[in-house]
């Protein structure tokens, strides 16, 4: 069955039985559907379930945007912080869920040395791997470590909206993790104001611990950071993450579509 036939099948058979968003994930989680098919699915769902008019030009433009994001994630080309050593963490090659009754926050930054353009990414998931919340933010940063520190602070700001939760935080920047989890006086002095803000923000949670992980285990936050830098805008995703992020979440083991 071709992908075009698959899309038509999902539209005609699956669509009437489930919600519009679930139709999109039913197609998207198969893993190889084109972004244009996904955008067409969203427009179709909006027409059927919400009575909205369909604009073909807008649908094609949106699909092209998602295609660019998806290709960026597949390439996994980062402009972030230093290359961390994998010694002592050889067994960690993918994202792992947090302990029971704990949420996991992954943060990352995509930094451009020439322009100083920086995308900050944050993704929060629960013990079952379900997507809880995500965010992307665009700003300028003077160095990779400053970019990573801003990503950590933005991640805590997003997580603070969830209340007094137990939070496990992960970053693929060893320099950042050593600065925020070690002795405060011995941390990186160039990001001292950000570290101070991180310490204050951490007090809002029931618990907040930082841990370093390899890049392969931090792909979701990396994808969010790339989206933010490319779009040059701020976004928060509560129930509908961008398709490029859905692609990574699926590979990490997303158990089901986010609920609207």
83 assigned to some structural domain = no
In this structure, is residue 93 part of a structural domain? no
Residue 11 is given by DSSP the state: I
Please list, in sequence order, all residues whose beta carbon lies within 8 angstroms of the beta carbon of residue 79, skipping any fewer than 6 positions away.
110, 111, 112, 113
The pLDDT confidence band at residue 91, using thresholds 50, 70 and 90, is low
Helix (H) or strand (E) holding 120: strand 117-125
Of the listed ranges 81-90, 113-122, 229-238, the least confidently predicted one is 81-90
Q: Is the entire prediction scored with pTM above 0.75?
A: no
Of the listed ranges 66-70, 150-154, 189-193, 222-226, the least confidently predicted one is 66-70
Pair (157, 207) in one structural domain: yes
Domain presence at residue 30 = yes
Same domain, 124 and 71: no
- Residue 258 domain-assigned (yes or no): no
**Domain contains 185:** yes
In this structure, are 235 and 132 located in the same domain? yes
Residues 38 and 108 in one domain: no
Q: Is 245 helix (H, G, I), strand (E, B) or coil?
A: helix
Check residue 187 and give its pLDDT: 67
Cβ atoms of 22 and 259 within 8 Å: the answer is no
**Per-chain mean pLDDT for the chain:** 77
Asked if residue 153 and residue 52 are part of one domain, the reply reads no
Residue 182, class by beta-carbon neighbours within 10 Å (0-12 exposed, 13-18 middle, 19+ buried)?
exposed
133 and 246 housed in the same domain: yes
Q: Is 122 left (phi over 0), alpha (psi -120 to 50) or beta?
A: beta
The answer as to whether 217 is a domain residue is yes
Both 128 and 221 in one domain: the answer is: yes
Does residue 119 sit in the same domain as residue 193?
yes
Burial 154-167 (b: 16+ CB within 10 A, else e): bbbebbeeeeebeb
Considering the domain architecture, whether residues 51 and 107 belong to the same structural domain is answered as no
What single-letter DSSP state applies at residue 97?
Answer: P
Whether residue 38 is predicted with pLDDT greater than 60 in this model: the reply is: no
Same domain (yes/no): 198, 156: yes
Domain boundary among 58, 75, 92: 75
CATH number at residue 191: 3.30.420.10
Domain around 29: 3-75
Residue at 40 is within a domain: yes
Residue ranges of E strands in the chain: 103-111, 117-125, 131-140, 166-171, 207-212, 235-237
Same domain, 139 and 213: yes
Domain contains 52: yes
Q: Return the bridge partners of 137, or none.
A: 120
Please give the Cα distance from 164 to 203 (Å, whole number).
9
**Residue 260, pLDDT above cutoff 60:** no
How many domains in the chain?
A: 2
The mean per-residue pLDDT over the stretch 53-74 comes to 63
Given this model, what pLDDT does residue 28 score? 42
Question: 41 with 158, same domain?
Answer: no
């Amino acid at each position: 069955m071709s992908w075009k036939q698959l899309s038509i099948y999902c539209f005609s058979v699956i669509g009437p039985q489930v919600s519009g968003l679930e139709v999109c994930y039913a197609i998207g989680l198969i893993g190889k559907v084109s972004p244009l098919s996904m955008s067409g699915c969203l427009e179709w769902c909006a027409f059927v379930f919400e009575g909205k008019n369909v604009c073909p030009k807008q649908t094609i433009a949106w699909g092209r945007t998602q295609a660019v994001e998806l290709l960026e994630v597949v390439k996994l080309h980062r402009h972030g912080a230093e290359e961390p050593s994998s010694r002592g963490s050889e067994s960690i090659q993918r994202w792992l869920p947090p302990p029971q009754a704990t949420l996991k926050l992954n943060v990352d930054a995509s930094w451009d040395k020439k322009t100083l353009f920086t995308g900050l990414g944050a993704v929060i998931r629960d013990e079952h791997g379900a997507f809880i919340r995500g965010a992307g933010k665009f700003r300028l940063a003077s160095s990779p470590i400053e970019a990573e520190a801003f990503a950590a602070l933005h991640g805590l700001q997003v997580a603070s909206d969830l209340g007094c939760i137990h939070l496990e935080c992960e970053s693929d920047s060893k320099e950042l993790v050593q600065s925020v989890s070690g002795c405060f006086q011995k941390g990186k002095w160039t990001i001292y104001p950000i570290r101070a803000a991180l310490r204050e923000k951490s007090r809002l949670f029931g618990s907040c611990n930082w841990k370093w992980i390899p890049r392969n285990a931090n792909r979701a936050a990396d994808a969010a950071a790339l989206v933010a830098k490319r779009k040059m805008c701020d976004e928060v995703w509560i129930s509908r993450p961008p398709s490029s992020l859905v692609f990574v979440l699926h590979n990490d083991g997303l158990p089901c579509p986010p609920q609207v």
